[in-house]
Amino acid sequence: MNTRLAVGTPVTVDTAMYGPHGNDDLVVLAHSDNPDGVGVGPKGNDPAKKHSIRNGWLYYPNSYVTPKEESKEVTTTTAAFKVGDKVAVDMDEPDYTWHATEGIVLEVRGTNSARVEVTKVGPNHTSGRGYTSLKVGDVHTLCALTVIPPFTFADIQVGDTIRRTATFNGATEVREGVVGSKGSYYWANEQGNYILAYNTDGKEGVTLELLNRPEPEPVKADWELAKTGDRLVVEGKETTRILTKQADGLWDTLLIRTWSEPSRGIRRADKEVALAFKDPAFSKNGKYKFFPTK
């Protein structure tokens, strides 16, 4: 399908990606070969979002478009990144194919578009959607980019896997390892016998990279750490549940209702209690009272 630009220049649209539209009067505001677009669409349109299929309409009728020459909004906006910056695709929709893909800017293509060398493959390229061929080192034109601040000495945490690359007088030294302890002017490895980074590493010629940071252990609620005899009281509008932790790890339930005699309820495991808290019939807003044994 050939789509006519506002300035009269034809452009071929990838119908396999965007689908046939069957209207030659439509114009493309932004695409891979023309990241700056040709104009501004209807009121409320944001040129900085590049009109990706996720962040805005890709096509507009000619009559709706303000030509680029008349649009200060398009001609005065500059990119927020430069060649050499580390960037990430940051979309509002986390299921977007390229979301969280990271890379180094090789060439700025527009206000929010660049040729990028991939340094980290986003999770959606490995989720069985047919994009598993993407790998570190590939070069692609990406949009919806935000700059990733440089990783510094002050950002280091115990448990991080880091790499320090220092280049002086043509010689390069690389140190890599898992951070274990902090000294007065350095971070050392887990064994404490190898310095991985210095507090002066912000100077030219030295770069620090975060290779891995373990996910923090989830914070457990008090009832999740309960022992035999501990009780969990969940008050409802008409039913109050008293759950008592048993020696076999399960919770026995006593139901106290406003309209009937007390009765036994469902025996639940911790996982089942956690799921039940998401049910408004079990607990409003997940609220409860916890009574540990003495």
What tokens were used for 101?
């893909």
Residue 74: pLDDT over 60: no
User: Are 292 and 244 in contact, with CB atoms under 8 Å apart?
Assistant: no
C-alpha torsion sign, points 105, 108, 109, 112: positive
- Topology adopted by domain 153-212: SH3 type barrels. (2.30.30)
pLDDT number for residue 8: 41
User: Are 264 and 254 in contact, with CB atoms under 8 Å apart?
Assistant: yes
Phi, psi dihedral angles at 48 (to 5 degrees): -65, -20
Residue 251: pLDDT over 60: yes
| pLDDT tens-place string over residues 131-171 | 557 888 899 888 888 888 888 999 999 999 999 999 988 89
Closest to 117 in 3D by CA, of 105, 133, 135: 105
pLDDT number for residue 70: 46
Distance (Å, whole) CA 103 – CA 32: 17
Confidence of residue 294 (pLDDT cuts 50, 70, 90): confident
What tokens were used for 63?
């009559």
pLDDT number for residue 29: 56
Distance (Å, whole) CA 120 – CA 211: 10
Residue 2: pLDDT over 70: no
| pLDDT tens-place string over residues 193-231 | 999 999 999 877 898 988 888 888 888 889 999 999 999
* CA end-to-end span of the chain: 76
CA distances from 197 to 149, 156, 180, 186 (A): 18, 9, 12, 6
The strand ranges marked E within 111-205 are: 113-120, 139-143, 145-147, 161-168, 171-182, 186-189, 195-198
pLDDT number for residue 37: 55
Residue 61: pLDDT over 70: no
Name residues whose C-beta falls within 8 Å of residue 164's C-beta, 6 or more positions apart in sequence: 174, 175, 176, 196, 197, 201, 206, 207, 208, 209
Distance (Å, whole) CA 171 – CA 182: 27
Max distance between CA atoms of the chain, in angstroms, equals 85
Question: For the whole model, what pTM was predicted?
Answer: 0.46
User: Are 106 and 114 in contact, with CB atoms under 8 Å apart?
Assistant: yes
According to DSSP, the residues that pair with 239 across neighbouring strands are 257
User: Are 71 and 40 in contact, with CB atoms under 8 Å apart?
Assistant: yes
| pLDDT tens-place string over residues 81-134 | 888 888 888 866 666 778 888 899 999 887 778 899 988 888 877 655 555 578
DSSP code for 220: P
